[in-house]
C-alpha cells in the first residue's frame, strides 16, 4: 500500500494566506469570506476560493 503525500504548495512563501492554513489557525470567518463567490479550485484539496492567491495549487473554473 502506498503512503499518501500532500502535493506541494505552489506558493510556499504565501502559504500563510491559504485556506488550509487559515483553517488550521481556526480563522473560520475569514475562510468563509474568502470562499464567497468562488472562481478557483485547489487541485490539492478541492477547496474553492474567490482568489487564486488563497489556494496552494489553484486552477480557475467557469461558473455555469
Q: How many CA atoms lie within 13 A of 37 on its CB side?
A: 1
pLDDT above 90 for 52 = yes
- Please report which confidence band the pLDDT of residue 28 belongs to, taking 50, 70 and 90 as the band edges: very high
In the prediction, which pLDDT does 64 show? 76
Residue 52 near residue 40, CB atoms below 8 Å? yes
CA distances from 47 to 1, 2, 3, 4, 57 (A): 26, 24, 22, 18, 10
In the prediction, which pLDDT does 16 show? 95
Of the candidates 45, 38, 30, the one whose C-alpha atom is nearest the C-alpha of residue 60 is 38
pLDDT above 60 for 14 = yes
- Across the strands, what pairs with 56? none
Amino acid at each position: 500500500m502506498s503512503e499518501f503525500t500532500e502535493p506541494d504548495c505552489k506558493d510556499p512563501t504565501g502559504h500563510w494566506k491559504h485556506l488550509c492554513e487559515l483553517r488550521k489557525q481556526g480563522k473560520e470567518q475569514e475562510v468563509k469570506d474568502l470562499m464567497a463567490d468562488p472562481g478557483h479550485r485547489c487541485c490539492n484539496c478541492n477547496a474553492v476560493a474567490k482568489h487564486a492567491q488563497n489556494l496552494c495549487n489553484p486552477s480557475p473554473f467557469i461558473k455555469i
